[in-house]
Chain A
Amino acid sequence: DGGITQSPKYLFRKEGQNVTLSCEQNLNHDAMYWYRQDPGQGLRLIYYSQIVNDFQKGDIAEGYSVSREKKESFPLTVTSAQKNPTAFYLCASTPPSGRKSEQFFGPGTRLTVL
């Protein structure tokens, strides 16, 4: 089955630690996206990548980093510089048909920083 996987589903970390969230897709999609979701605030774009080895900052990139070494993978690192990292993180991708297409979402990772 094709799709987007995010792991783990739940993640707990101590304050001050970096943590990496995984996002993998086997849909042959070119573009991938990371969103942060907080109650009552909708989805906010953190980073996106339209092609391997290239990525751009979204609206709330501070305290986050990404890499795109493979088409299938777009991991997100939440660094200790992120002041309020506890949130639900969603990864998405779009097919090669590009900007006119909907985004396909993974199941999400809920990060709790203690």
Chain B
Amino acid sequence: AQSVTQLGSHVSVSEGALVLLRCNYSSSVPPYLFWYVQYPNQGLQLLLKYTTGATLVKGINGFEAEFKKSETSFHLTKPSAHMSDAAEYFCAVIHSGNTGKLIFGQGTTLQVKP
């Protein structure tokens, strides 16, 4: 069965520091992977996605993620955190069946300290 694991339910960084949010997946088929961001009491917004091709994917707001098949990982990074990056982040993989369903990780709350 497919699954997504986000390591660390809470991550705290200082403003200007590197952001690293970890995501590992399990999939029996080539995965399509996504990172979403959610601000309090709002819906989810797509940050970036990996489908095929280049394994380093750039997204909005300066975020990027690298698909590493050998490590079954899709970690999200940003070189320099900004206060506005404080939010909850979800990693997701598309279900292998032909339904378009997404399987989400538990989420990681990013705190940015001044």
Contact = CB atoms under 8 A, between A and B. Distances in A.
Contact of A107 (B43, B90, B99, B105): B43
A102 B107 CA distance: 17
Contact of A43 (B41, B42, B45, B104): B104
B49 interface: yes
B53 interface: no
A33 B44 contact: no
B90 A43 contact: yes
A101 interface: yes
Given A100-B32, A108-B41, A48 B106 contact: no
A17 interface: no
User: Chain A interface residue count: which class?
Assistant: 20 to 34
B56 interface: no
A102 B99 contact: no
Contacts of A104: 46
A4 B42 CA distance: 12
Given A42-B104, A102-B49, A48 B99 contact: yes
Contacts of B32: 100
A102 B34 contact: yes
Interface string B38-60: 00011111100101000000000
A106 B51 CA distance: 23
Contacts of B107: 40, 42
A90 B43 contact: yes
B45 A101 contact: no
Interface in A9-68: 9, 31, 33, 40-43, 45, 48, 50, 56, 58
3 tightest CB-CB pairs across the interface, nearest first? A105-B43, A105-B44, A99-B100
Interface of A: 4, 6, 9, 31, 33, 40-43, 45, 48, 50, 56, 58, 88, 90, 92, 94, 98-108, 110
